[in-house]
Structure 1
Amino acid sequence: MTDAATVERRRKSQDWRPRSRVVLHSRFLAMTLLAKLSSIFLLGTVYVAYVFIGGAVFWKLEGDMVQQVLADIKEERNAFLNELPCLTAEKLEEVAAWVLAASRRGLSLKTNSTSDGFWKFTSSSVFAATVVTTIGYGNMSPVTVYGQIFCVFFALIGIPLNMVVLNKVGQYMLAFERNICNFIVRRMNHKKIVRVFIHTMSFIMLFILYFVAPVMVVKEFEGWTYTESVYYCFITLSTIGFGDFVADDNPDRMYPQWYAGIVCAWIFFGLAWLALLINHSIELVEEFNAYLKQRRKNASQSLQEEKLPDKQAEVTQNGTTQESHVSETHAEAVQN
């Protein structure tokens, strides 16, 4: 009877072990999923809050200005109609719509002569560059059916091609910088300091070449302020492309023939530099994480090494105490 009960208990325990493993595995998966959902929810909350905070700041900064501009426009409109009583409000709106349509096509109406509009070869090349780089200023766009269809297929092929080329160019630039850095480091002492110095100088030089110099160039040829030039360069290289400031776009200014080509080359290599900067930042973050992991590992190892002599001493002391206790017990037994 006892043997049968023992066998039955063993069978139930063996049946219970797989079930317990399944339950534990299910709980582990549920906890992992819950942790991932919590992190996603937290990240989404931070993202939405960041967007709403930005919207509130822009609303306070720009909203009052818009109301003031609208009031000034209404005042100037009424003053203009009072000076020209023969011009009605309806005719003024028609003239304004006509001027706006002409301006959107790159035509200037300040003189008797007009420019040739946006669709020159140079400006068309800049437009093609903004399409494949997804900048999309919005200041010019195709209006013909064939132009719109070609733009769709041109972007379908050009955008992936642009991403591949920019990534490759950024990797080659990073490899070139790394080779120069390794070449110099091998011939000097204090390798870490030299490596940090070379990376810093490389960043400063490329920043001057692809950001500071373009700011000075567009300020000179576009007649913008320093703030507007910095704003335009950042909006362009970040591919935000609002279109409120666009190079080679003012029909009232005469640009040299090489200016549009310089702008296209700057957009391409500037985006490649940005890709280089992103790749280099990712590499630095990975190296920093590896350094922190190695540092924590070394700290834990040193802590264990410090605790080991104490444990050995405790074990030795316990062994000595036990031996003395055995000796005392043996001596008492002999006396008895």
Structure 2
Amino acid sequence: MFNMVCVPSIVMLGVVYVAYVLIGGVIFWKLEGDFGEKDIRLLLMNKQKLLSTYTCLELNGLEEVAKVIQDASKVGLSLKGNSTTDGFWKFTSSAVFAATVVTTIGYGNMSPRSTAAQIFCVFFALFGIPLNVVVLNRVGKYMIVIERNISTFLEGQTGRARCSHFFVHLVSYLSGALLFFIVPMVVFQLHEGWTFSQAIYYCFITLSTIGFGDFVADNNPDKVYPEWYSFFIACWIFFGLAWLALIINHSSDILEKLNTHLKQCWGGHQQEEHESSDNDTQLQQEDKVKQPSLTH
């Protein structure tokens, strides 16, 4: 038997979740729908312009050129200089790819093509993803312990527990945003040539493990990156994932507390109605007892 108090909260959470997803779909549709149609029209115009400019290039030839460009992008080959990205499918890039697998980022710029590598990727992810979750949770717990120790110290010095907790959380959020969003945003803007909005977008898409793959750092074959760049990205991803996971856990706790509060309010409302109905029934019974019988 289900608890009748839990059923309305589950239904309400389901309705909120579906409504949130649908509202997001409508907003994306309105924001990107017109741009998608414009991109298609522009692409068709460029296609006709290309065919009219290069008359020796037929439709089949254009498809072959497109296939060459697509295959070149898959292996990181630059069509300008016939060079690949530094270390493409070598040890460094393979280690980065393994990290994107266990962290479930999955940019899509690199993917195994041989059957043996694809099978190994399945088993590697099967055990690597839980291991990554355990490690990130442990790092997040250490972050929480550090925050609690600092909060306890400040509470002992000031005697104000709530203000100390708020101050420590605020400093933690601001310092994390500075280290894992603002500083990387500037670095990516300088070395990748992205705009600040594109860089901050890439930071969040990466640390949230969404990983669309439309922007990937250290992946442009036409650029020469410094030696410390790959190490910086690896450290940023690892500690940034732990920090953002901590933020998401705090947000989940807030939603759970809100859900519990709503359940208590719903349960208290039902209990009040039940007690009110019981009181009314008891009063009616007392009135029947007190009411004198009519005799002729």
| TM superposition score category, shorter chain reference | 0.7 to 0.9
In the alignment, is residue 247 of structure 1 matched against residue 217 of structure 2? yes
Alignment of 1:96-111 (within 5 A): 96-111=66-81
In the alignment, is residue 229 of structure 1 matched against residue 199 of structure 2? yes
Inter-partner Cα distance in structure 1 for 2:10 and 2:233 = 40
In the alignment, is residue 120 of structure 1 matched against residue 93 of structure 2? no
Counterpart amino acid of 1:253? Answer: K
> Which residue of 116, 119, 138 corresponds with 1:168?
138
For 1:51, the equivalent position in structure 2 comes to 21
Inter-partner Cα distance in structure 1 for 2:172 and 2:19 = 36
For 1:9, the equivalent position in structure 2 comes to none
2:218/2:229 contact within 8 Å kept: yes
More helix by share: 1
Q: Deviations over 1:113-149 (max 9, x none)?
A: 4446731322222211111111111121100111111
SS in 1 for 2:153: helix
1:123/1:260 contact within 8 Å kept: no
For 1:295, the equivalent position in structure 2 comes to none
For 2:293, the equivalent position in structure 1 comes to none
SS in 2 for 1:245: coil
Q: How far did residue 38 of structure 1 move?
A: 3.9
SS in 2 for 1:203: helix
For 1:20, the equivalent position in structure 2 comes to none
SS in 1 for 2:223: coil
Inter-partner Cα distance in structure 2 for 1:137 and 1:115 = 16
In the alignment, is residue 220 of structure 1 matched against residue 195 of structure 2? no
1:215/1:229 contact within 8 Å kept: yes
Cα distance 1:84–1:172, how it changes in 2: closer, same or farther (>3 A)?
A: same
Q: Which has the higher contact order (CA 8 A, sep 6+)?
A: 2
Inter-partner Cα distance in structure 2 for 1:92 and 1:276 = 49
Question: Which moved further from structure 2: 80-89 or 221-230?
Answer: 80-89
Inter-partner Cα distance in structure 2 for 1:184 and 1:265 = 30
Q: Deviations over 1:149-196 (max 9, x none)?
A: 111111111111111111111101110121122123212344432342
Inter-partner Cα distance in structure 2 for 1:249 and 1:271 = 20
C-alpha RMSD of the superposition: 2.6
For 2:100, the equivalent position in structure 1 comes to 130
1:126/1:263 contact within 8 Å kept: no
Q: Which segments of 5 or more consecutive residues in structure 1 lack a partner in the other structure?
A: 1-28, 292-336
Q: Deviations over 1:71-115 (max 9, x none)?
A: 111212212222221221211111111111111111111124444
> Which residue of 181, 197, 202 corresponds with 2:167?
197
2:87/2:93 contact within 8 Å kept: no
1:138/1:243 contact within 8 Å kept: yes
SS in 2 for 1:186: helix
For 1:150, the equivalent position in structure 2 comes to 120
SS in 1 for 2:158: coil
Inter-partner Cα distance in structure 2 for 1:288 and 1:54 = 22
Cα distance 1:78–1:272, how it changes in 2: closer, same or farther (>3 A)?
A: same
Q: TM-score, normalised by structure 1?
A: 0.71
Q: TM-score, normalised by structure 2?
A: 0.79
Cα distance 1:235–1:37, how it changes in 2: closer, same or farther (>3 A)?
A: same
SS in 2 for 1:241: coil
> Which residue of 66, 91, 110 corresponds with 1:140?
110
Q: Which segments of 5 or more consecutive residues in structure 2 lack a partner in the other structure?
A: 262-296
For 2:62, the equivalent position in structure 1 comes to 92
- Percent same amino acid among aligned pairs? 55
Cα distance 1:279–1:112, how it changes in 2: closer, same or farther (>3 A)?
A: closer
Inter-partner Cα distance in structure 2 for 1:176 and 1:85 = 68
